C-alpha cells in the first residue's frame, strides 16, 4: 500500500516537473517575443521621429517658398 502511494506521489511530482519545464520554455519564448516587439517599437519610434523632423523641414521649406512668392507678387503689384 505504501509503495502504491509513493508511486502516485512520484508520478505527480514528475508531472509537476514536466509542467514547470514547459512553463519555463514558454516564459523564454515570451521573453524573446517581448524583446523582439520592444525592438520593433523602438524602431517605429525612431522612424516616427525621423518623419516628424522631415515633415518640419518640409513645412519650413514651404513657408520659405510662400514668403518668396508673396515677395514676388508684391513686386509685380508695384510694377
Which of residues 74 and 29 earns the better pLDDT score?
A: 29
* CA–CA dist 19, 12 (Å, integer): 10
Cα-based distances in Å from 52 to 3, 45, 55, 65: 72, 10, 5, 20
Provide the whole-model pTM: 0.65
* CA–CA dist 42, 29 (Å, integer): 20
Query: Quick one: pLDDT at residue 1?
Result: 67
Structural domain that includes position 7: 1-78
Count how many Cα atoms sit within 13 Å of the Cα of residue 10 in the half-sphere of its side chain. Answer: 6
Query: Quick one: pLDDT at residue 33?
Result: 98
Number of domains in the chain: 1
* CA–CA dist 79, 68 (Å, integer): 17
Amino acid at each position: 500500500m505504501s509503495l502504491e502511494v509513493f508511486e502516485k506521489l512520484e508520478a505527480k511530482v514528475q508531472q509537476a516537473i514536466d509542467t514547470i519545464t514547459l512553463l519555463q520554455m514558454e516564459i523564454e519564448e515570451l521573453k524573446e517575443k517581448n524583446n523582439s516587439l520592444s525592438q520593433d517599437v523602438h524602431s517605429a519610434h525612431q522612424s516616427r521621429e525621423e518623419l516628424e523632423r522631415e515633415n518640419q523641414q518640409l513645412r519650413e521649406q514651404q513657408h520659405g517658398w510662400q514668403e518668396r512668392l508673396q515677395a514676388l507678387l508684391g513686386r509685380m503689384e508695384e510694377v
